[in-house]
Chains A and B, each alone.
Chain A
């Protein structure tokens, strides 16, 4: 186990209300595996990862819980210690490559920044490392390309460079926050291939945030399903798709447009995600769930094992009243 996240809750203390963005989330990340975190927009995926890395502004945001990385609790580190881990041990890949680079600096300058910031002394060696990592990410003629500016690259190229930048310090964990959302499908496939190859090469653990179940199926080893800031189900990818336990996961899989039944209108989960300012008891999916009973509102929302390494929070599935 490389990262052990326990009971993380993140609250935004805003003037009009407290927003509970992440509620009591736990998960583990193992060496060399890819963990997918899926959920709709606003389900707390990104906030969860930012909380772990301490990237949220402190006064309005309060995070509780633990995140053990190498026996250090990331949530208990001071900002200086945390900065040494960020970008060095744990890197991030961002969603929109075209806005994730500073338009005024050459790519080479930005690629070596993580190295320089983490105590790398020789600029020349850093540049050489940047060239090597760019050729690893299959950017043609990296020795020339790296001296260009971000606006001289295409989006797919920049995402490759971004992956390179995240890997240049040889991190152990990479958190990829919807890295392919801004790219078209063919480029997306190549970026995923690249990540897979580099993952094996550098024995990386990847946390892959996405709302694309197709990518989850093809890319992730294990999946965490989030909804309204809580985890509803975790399972290996195969289990999640073959033995879906939670009604929400079921509905999510059903909502993926399929080429087979194109004549029907697309399936849609009725209702809206709950208002994050309202603190609800019981299962957060209850209002929209077609299998709901009175029991769901009273149930304690906690993950329990239904199969081997397969956890769900649905009380009806756990009590074997329901089988999906």
Chain B
């Protein structure tokens, strides 16, 4: 096993990679970056939302990478961490929601904001992630049963486009980063579905009509 594979198999390594983006804001805040100090809660809101989207897109990219490159040991190694990465996406989303709550000044604005489409979609995305996080425990897998659990967790594929939509509408102009995060994922998923269809056709193979 090479050092790279060992590294990507390590839970500690993945934990560090997941937690570091959460600590990153300390740097501009402590160094007094005026663009951050101008509206610190907004900066933190955008930062944690951005990381949540990246984590969500990353975890969904793992299975396609494994399917498309079955001999790539690093992709295999990372697939062990899907639950960890997925649940951390939820936690970043939770903190993101917390900053929104603080920035808008509490409950009253919260309930009026919910009526706005992109905030409503954001809330919906969060609720999906909440359900997935809560059912991510081993005993939940056992309680729901493998098939039901798998179907429930397919909701992650609904969360991703909702998250993209929410992120796309958050600024005055469309932010290009949405494309950088979600287009590669979309391409991977399309390729993965295509590959899986090739390997195991959905219907029973019908004998090809004889040509002649």
Determine if chain A interacts with chain B.
Answer: no
Contact surface of B with A, Cβ cutoff 8 Å: none
Contact surface of A with B, Cβ cutoff 8 Å: none
